[in-house]
Amino acid sequence: SKEAREKAEAELKKLRSMSPMSAESTVVRNYLDWLLSIPWGKNSKVKQDLNYAQDVLDADHFGLDKVKERIVEYLAVQSRQKKLKGPILCLVGPPGVGKTSLGKSIAKATGREFIRMALGGVRDEAEIRGHRRTYIGSMPGKVIQSMKKAKKSNPLFLLDEIDKMGQDFRGDPSSALLEVLDPEQNSTFMDHYLEVEYDLSSVMFVTTANTLNIPAPLMDRMEIIRIAGYTEDEKIEIAKRHLMPKVIRDHALQPNEFSVGEDAIRGIIQTYTREAGVRSLERELMKLGRKAVTEILRTKKKTVKITAENLADYLGVPRFRFGQVEADDQVGVVTGLAWTEVGGELLTIEGVMMPGKGRMTVTGNLRDVMKESISAAAS
């Protein structure tokens, strides 16, 4: 940009009049290096083939039809616009449902460079906007550093775990992100280190979160796309299409040496995992893969087949009862439903009558809604 060119020329003029051995000249040289290494208007060619985008999303993720449909609509609108102005997508869902990998797929579908910036535990505003050059060892913020790594002005920028940001005496990074994510402001993003405006309007921003525990002004700038957990049948398909080939590849097995039947996969889902995503399912399949390799090497077996009948021999005693909390009804115990960040949960509520004045005591870390329910049930 014109402003950046003028700033660079002024710094170069200053550098010429300095001693090469002085500390100040090192600071100026570092500054000029950063200014020259950032992509200024270097855009990669964006793919606008919607059928290709749909194929990429389908190949990488099973199910999630509503989410894919919304992403393709978003890409369709962007392909008609010369300037990328529009909402920032925020993918909200439990862990292990494929939010981060969906961001990678969007980058692949559009032909953009992919950058991921983890925001979990970020508490310092300078992480976003950088430190001023007066500080020793100062550097630009993560946004400018990531743009340097991408080498293009229009990458797909994934802001991971945006709900895990904190704030303390060093500032509020979520407020600093407002400038980055606002289409009206991000064409003139100012990093404290660079001190010149940088255009982020060509960048496609996608954010991910487990819950909507996001500051209201930040949420107002994003379009929320909810990714619910997978159904049992969808998990089985994901295991067959994506997880099993990965297990076979990672454990140097041949497809004819190791197989897990559909009934065994269903058994793992029902009695060994309890989750909305597929991370625990992947861990259990990896465990089966390790045991299969060990068995093949020890016993010189040609094939290892896992079925519902021999599943417990490999994974041990089932951890959960499918669809029930207790095998038999018990006096004074009732089953309740609970909501958690990773999906629904069954829990038991126990009532005990003791001698006293008829007062009700509620134990456990219960919120007001549960206490009201107990009062309503007792009245």
Q: Full-prediction pTM beyond 0.95? A: no
| Burial category of 379 from C-beta neighbours within 10 Å (exposed 0-12, middle 13-18, buried 19 and up) | exposed
Is the confidence at residue 287, as pLDDT, over 90? yes
Mean pLDDT value of segment 19-39: 83
- With tokens 């269903």, the residue in question is 266
Predicted confidence (pLDDT) per residue in 101-143, tens digit: 888 998 888 888 999 988 887 877 888 888 888 888 888 888 8
Q: Which residues contact 357 (CB under 8 A, 6 or more apart)?
A: none
Q: Find the range with the poorest average confidence among 5-9, 252-256, 262-266, 278-282.
A: 5-9
Query: What is the pLDDT averaged over residues 184-195?
Result: 84
**Which SS3 state, helix, strand or coil, does residue 247 take?**
helix
Q: Just give the CATH number of 50-226.
A: 3.40.50.300
Of all residues in the chain, what percent are helix, strand and coil, respectively (each to 5)? 45, 15, 40
CATH number of 245-315: 1.10.8.60
User: Residue by residue, what is the 3-state secondary structure of 39-66?
Assistant: CCCCCCCCCCCHHHHHHHHHHHCCCCHH
Q: Where are the domains of the chain?
A: 2-37, 50-226, 245-315, 333-378
Write down how long the chain is.
379
Amino acid (one-letter) located at 232: E
Residues 219-276: tens digit of each pLDDT: 888 888 888 878 888 899 999 988 999 999 999 888 888 999 999 999 999 888 888 8
> Is residue 239 a contact partner of residue 278, using CB atoms and an 8 Å limit?
yes
pLDDT of amino acid 40: 86
Contact 147, 195 (CB under 8 A): no
Q: What is the mean pLDDT of residues 71-84?
A: 78
If residue 258 lies in a helix (H) or strand (E), which one and from where to where? strand 258-260
Q: Closest Cα to residue 264, out of 308, 313, 300, 216?
A: 308
Q: Give the per-residue pLDDT at 342.
A: 60
State residue 290's pLDDT score. Answer: 93
Q: If pLDDT is split at 50, 70 and 90, which confidence band does 17 have?
A: confident
Cα atoms in the 13 Å half-sphere on the side-chain side of 192: 16
Q: Which amino acid is at 94?
A: P
The two structure tokens encoding residue 92: 């909200």
Contact of 167 with 123, CB cutoff 8 Å: yes
CA-CA-CA-CA torsion sign (102, 112, 83, 81): negative
Residue 285 has a pLDDT of: 93
Residue 339 DSSP SS3:
strand
